Structure 1
Amino acid sequence: MATAILLSALAMSVIVGVRYLLASGGFALATRVRKPGLYRGLGRQIGREIGWSLASALIYGIPAGVVAWGWQARGWTRIYSDMRDFPLWYWPLSVLLYLLAHDAWFYWTHRWMHRPRPFRIAHAVHHASRPPTAWAAMSFHPWEALTGAVVIPALVFLIPVHVAALGMVLTIMTVMGVSNHMGWEMFPHWMVRGPLGRWLITASHHQRHHEHYACNYGLYFRFWDRLCGTDRGLGSFRETA
């Protein structure tokens, strides 16, 4: 049993690492095409971002692998694979519930990490990316990576979710994490500056966090920032030469 759990954890770590390399690499390539020169002179920083991110992939993979083994071998979780187990309308609802729960967890742990001691010990690693790049999405100190690694594995014990819906949650998490750090806005102006953008976090919103630190703590939605008075609007991006 221990060997099976270890192999599952290692396999999941590899999957998370490959997912990171493909997603960040893809958005970095898009940046080279759309914004040539944006990452000029940031080679050493990007190397550090990749190193920290691959270490984070290992940390993210361990609880995910244990949960995956428990689901397959013991039926521990509330993950289901038969669409008939719940009404069809529950599928998108479950995705939204996971995003809302993850967003709340992220907001409060992220805000806590901006207190002087946690910031100095852990979160400073992420903010060492100045400016952040597409490779910085998982550039975390191990302690910070651990706070992010436990939330989705914990939720699968609490909220029923179809395996494909869980895949959708992980896809959204990956795309938002990478795109929000890449240094330019991929979403259209009408969305970012319009009513939808008032509630969704995009690169423009998260850029302000990396500019001023004590604001814009959310991950997917601006709800908590607005409720708690930490929303400071949209940031700006550096110009390429």
Structure 2
Amino acid sequence: MTLIVGVRYLVTSGAFALATRVRKPGLYAGLDRQIGREIRWSLASAAIYGIPAGIVAWGWQAHGWTRIYDDVNVWPLWYLPVSVFLYLFAHDTWFYWTHRWMHRPRWFRIAHAVHHASRPPTAWAAMAFHPIEALTGAVVIPLLVFAIPIHVAALGLVLGIMTFMGVTNHMGWEIFPRFLVDGPAGRWLITASHHQRHHDRYGCNFGLYFRFWDRLCGTDDGLGSFEKRGTAARARAGHGVDRRVAGHDAHR
């Protein structure tokens, strides 16, 4: 499972990094050392993600411990999209609150600063986590499969959406069309434009898929903009991560 997670990361992030090179040539120029660091942290995270995933796979196939089912007739067909939404909403809820916790000054310095050291983030940064943060992310889906029934194909879709959104939210440019981002759906769905503001300002926009918790808790700060590379480079040179740590709680 570690190998599967690691290959999935390399293939997905590599594909979107290549797309960035084609669509936005030069966007990642000068970031070779940062990208190397992102890949190393991400592969370490893959090892952590693989442990609970392997336990779930073993428990499902060998013992039937989970609520994963492979007979589509076990539950009504209308439950398939409902189960996908339940998983995404539960994951988003877990992510929002653990993400806010990671932005408390002590835990930010200990763990989350690893992720925010990517300034600006790239398509390779999606899993660039400290082991503590990787562990908080690795357990949520494995825990859900013991509580909420889901078809194995629907679970695959959830994992695909998780991977896709994790990568595209960090690409440094908006992959979705403006009519979606600026339209009614964009007011509730998170894309790179929303998550970019989190990486710019740190104390806002903590969600993963939906803006629900950010809106409810007053941490939604709208959509961000994508800096030109020269501006981003000057920002990296002039502002360290530690300078922003002390002000995180002020944004709540």
What TM-score do you get using the length of structure 2 for normalisation? 0.91
Unaligned residue ranges in structure 2 (runs of 5+)? 231-252
What TM-score do you get using the length of structure 1 for normalisation? 0.95
Q: Which residue of 1 aligns with 2:22?
A: 33
- SS of 2:210's equivalent in the other structure is coil
Structural mapping, 1:79-158, within 5 Å: 79-158=68-147
Q: What CA distance in whole angstroms lies between the structure 2 residues aligned with 1:42 and 1:236? A: 19
Q: Which residue of 2 aligns with 1:68?
A: 57
Q: Which residue of 1 aligns with 2:224?
A: 235
CA contact (8 A) 1:36 1:240 kept: no
Q: What CA distance in whole angstroms lies between the structure 2 residues aligned with 1:99 and 1:234? A: 21
Which residue of the other structure, out of 55, 67, 73, is the alignment partner of 2:44?
Answer: 55
Amino acid at match of 1:97: L
Amino acid at match of 2:167: V
Q: Which residue of 2 aligns with 1:187?
A: 176
- SS of 1:234's equivalent in the other structure is coil
Q: What CA distance in whole angstroms lies between the structure 1 residues aligned with 2:104 and 2:191? A: 24
Q: What CA distance in whole angstroms lies between the structure 2 residues aligned with 1:240 and 1:40? A: 8
Q: Which residue of 2 aligns with 1:22?
A: 11
Structural mapping, 1:157-176, within 5 Å: 157-176=146-165
Q: 1:186 Cα deviation (Å)? A: 0.6
- SS of 2:73's equivalent in the other structure is helix
**Deviation readout 1:35-72 (Å, 9 max, x if unpaired):** 00000000000000000000000000000001100100
Amino acid at match of 1:213: Y
Identity of matched residues, %: 80
CA contact (8 A) 1:79 1:160 kept: yes
- SS of 2:224's equivalent in the other structure is coil
Q: What CA distance in whole angstroms lies between the structure 2 residues aligned with 1:43 and 1:234? A: 27
Q: 1:137 Cα deviation (Å)? A: 0.1
Amino acid at match of 2:72: M
Amino acid at match of 1:85: V
**Deviation readout 1:68-87 (Å, 9 max, x if unpaired):** 00100010000000001000
Q: What CA distance in whole angstroms lies between the structure 1 residues aligned with 2:45 and 2:33? A: 18
Q: What CA distance in whole angstroms lies between the structure 2 residues aligned with 1:118 and 1:184? A: 28
Give the number of aligned pairs.
230
Q: What CA distance in whole angstroms lies between the structure 2 residues aligned with 1:58 and 1:226? A: 34
Amino acid at match of 2:61: Q
- SS of 2:40's equivalent in the other structure is helix
Q: 1:239 Cα deviation (Å)? A: 2.4
Q: 1:238 Cα deviation (Å)? A: 1.8
Amino acid at match of 1:80: Y
Amino acid at match of 2:181: V
Q: 1:240 Cα deviation (Å)? A: 5.1
Amino acid at match of 2:186: G
- SS of 1:191's equivalent in the other structure is helix
Q: What CA distance in whole angstroms lies between the structure 1 residues aligned with 2:221 and 2:6? A: 33
Aligned-pair Cα RMSD in Å:
0.7
Unaligned residue ranges in structure 1 (runs of 5+)? 1-11
